[in-house]
Structures are given as C-alpha cells and as structure tokens.
Amino acid sequence: MFASMTIKEAGRKCLDGLLGLYPKGEAEAITEIVLEYISKKKRNEIWLFATTQLSQNDELLFDSVLERLRHFEPVQYIINEAWFYAMPFYVDKHVLIPRPETEELVHWIIADRAKKEESPKILDIGSGSGCIPISLKKKLPFAEVWSCDISKEALKIAKRNATANQTEVNFLELDILDHKAWDKLPVFDIIVSNPPYVPESDKKKMQPNVLNFEPHLALFVSDRNPLTFYKAIADFALIHLSPNGCVYLEIHEYLGKEVTTLLMKQGFIIEVKQDMQQKDRMLRCEKKGV
C-alpha cells in the first residue's frame, strides 16, 4: 500500500537534500519553489496545507525534481518558469535565467522615463527570454520596443513570453557583431543590453548549476577580447542612437573601469550604478555635447 508523505515532510526532505550543495538561504528558496510547484498552491498558502498528503503521482514528481536538483540543474529549468519584474517567464536551457541585477537595470530605465511623456523607441540587444524588452513594454506601454538575438531558439522563447504577457515587441534575428546587419535597424532613443561578458577564465570559479546548464553563448567571451560586445554596441550607438538618447548596459563587476574607459574613448558620458550588493554592475551612457 502506498504511504504518501505530507507537504511538510516533502519540504524537510527537499531542504535536507539540498543543504551542503547550496547555501542555506538558497536551499530554502529552492525548497519553497518546489513545494509550490508540486502542491499547486501559492507560496503563502503552502504551510496552511502542511499536513496534506501528496498523491502518488505528485510524490513521484517530487522525487524526480529532487534528483535533478541534486545534480545541480536549476529549479527554474525544471519547472520551466522564472519570475522577473513581477511577471512569469518560460525558460529552458536555450536562455539565461533572469537575474535580480537585470531587474535593477530595467528599473533604472523605467525610473528615468517616468517623468517623460514621449514615446521612446527602444532596442534590447540579446533577447534571451525576452525579460528586458517585455518588462519595458509592460511598464512603458507607449514605447516602440525592438529586440534582437543571434539565437533562433532564444527568439522562439522570447516571442512565447511576449504573447503570454500580452506585450508587443518587434523581435529580430540579428548578430550585433555583424556590422553589415545594422542597416536592418532604425535609430533608437534607448539602447539596452545585458551582453555576454564573462571571461572564459572565470569558468573555474562558477557554480555547476550555471556552468553545466545555462547557455554558454549568452555568458562567455574570449579572455583576449572580453569587451567585444561593448565595443560593438558603442559603435552601433554612435550611428543608431538619437541625439538625446541613452545606452544602458549590464557589466561584469570587475570590468567596470575597462568598459567605462572604452565608452569614454567613443565620446560617451558615463554614469556607473551599483546593484543591491554594492557592486558596479550597470552603467548609463549619453553622447557628449548633447
């Protein structure tokens, strides 16, 4: 006879299975996500049903999820969902899992535009899951939002998320490193990007849940030229940024000075902003003399 575990027992088993693999706070957060997924209840309701027994199918699903987690597969890929700017996004191995630092970058743009009534034309470079352009369109509904990516698989996911979140974004398959492709794009008031910026040499420091599962195409750049995307975006902006426009970029916490120097040489005025952990993680660029 099948003896099922309760939601509370599943939570304890999950947390015990993750401690030692993840920091305690992260293990607890993952456990909450798993219980919400398995029980099909909202997070603030889970412990109201702590003594509810899982069905046999739910317990089998729970065991499968826990096994995958113990092999460091990100919980967001297991449940195919990540939240960003209070919206759900479908994610899988073809796109990066959205990060809180990127939310801060998006919030900076929205805050800058909150007092302005015009309808800006926005380009996001590197669509990924679509979290940046979709969130901007949701909060700046009168904006005309474009987004490009070199990955066909990523664009399929971004389009799926735009539909699910009821936003209209112009997605385009394009390699920003290909200067010949720039003619496909108009002039923009805002250019934003969270480009690949992690040097290949950083791989040895990275956690297996990132290194073994998230797409390397969206993460890594050559040690010999770690600023390759920033250089291309700066060159593009010199041609495709409107006179009063701004560029917003997420940056590597240890490469802020190098990126700033590069952009200043291109004639931009730079403001670097720290994230919630007091790390230099984003910057805004404006053209000089405007």
Q: Identify whether residues 156 and 269 lie together within a single domain.
A: yes
Residue 26 to residue 224: CA distance in whole angstroms: 34
Q: Identify whether residues 252 and 219 lie together within a single domain.
A: yes
Q: What is the DSSP string of 156-174?
A: HHHHHHHHHTT---EEEE-
C-beta neighbour count of 183 within 10 angstroms = 9
Number of domains the chain contains: 2
Q: Which of 41, 71, 101 is the last residue of a domain?
A: 71
Residue 176 to residue 249: CA distance in whole angstroms: 14
Task: Please report the pLDDT score of residue 288 as a whole number.
Answer: 67
For residue 84, tell me if it sits in a domain: no
Task: Please report the pLDDT score of residue 3 as a whole number.
Answer: 54
For residue 254, tell me if it sits in a domain: yes
Q: Identify whether residues 121 and 58 lie together within a single domain.
A: no
Task: Please report the pLDDT score of residue 117 as a whole number.
Answer: 63
**Terminal-to-terminal C-alpha distance of the chain:** 76
Q: What is the pLDDT along the chain (290 residues), one digit of tens a residue?
A: 455 799 999 999 999 999 989 999 999 999 999 999 999 888 888 888 888 999 999 999 999 999 999 999 999 999 999 999 999 999 999 999 999 999 999 999 999 987 676 789 999 999 999 999 999 999 999 999 999 999 999 999 999 999 999 999 999 999 999 999 999 999 999 999 999 999 898 898 888 999 999 999 999 999 899 999 999 999 999 999 999 899 999 999 888 899 999 999 999 999 999 888 888 899 999 986 55
| Cβ neighbours of residue 252 closer than 8 Å, sequence gap 6 or more | 197, 198, 199, 226, 259
Q: Identify whether residues 262 and 154 lie together within a single domain.
A: yes
Q: Identify whether residues 251 and 201 lie together within a single domain.
A: yes
Find tokens 């046999």 and name the residue.
56
Q: Identify whether residues 37 and 116 lie together within a single domain.
A: no
For residue 281, tell me if it sits in a domain: yes
Q: Identify whether residues 105 and 214 lie together within a single domain.
A: yes
Q: Identify whether residues 63 and 172 lie together within a single domain.
A: no
Q: Note the pTM of the prediction, 2 decimals.
A: 0.93
Task: Please report the pLDDT score of residue 1 as a whole number.
Answer: 41
Q: Identify whether residues 106 and 237 lie together within a single domain.
A: yes
For residue 130, tell me if it sits in a domain: yes
Task: Please report the pLDDT score of residue 46 as a whole number.
Answer: 85
**For residue 221, what is the domain's CATH number?**
3.40.50.150
For residue 115, tell me if it sits in a domain: yes
Query: Are the C-beta atoms of 148 and 174 separated by less than 8 Å?
Result: yes
Domain of residue 23 covers 7-71
Q: Identify whether residues 102 and 180 lie together within a single domain.
A: yes
Residue 235 to residue 258: CA distance in whole angstroms: 16
Q: Identify whether residues 142 and 174 lie together within a single domain.
A: yes
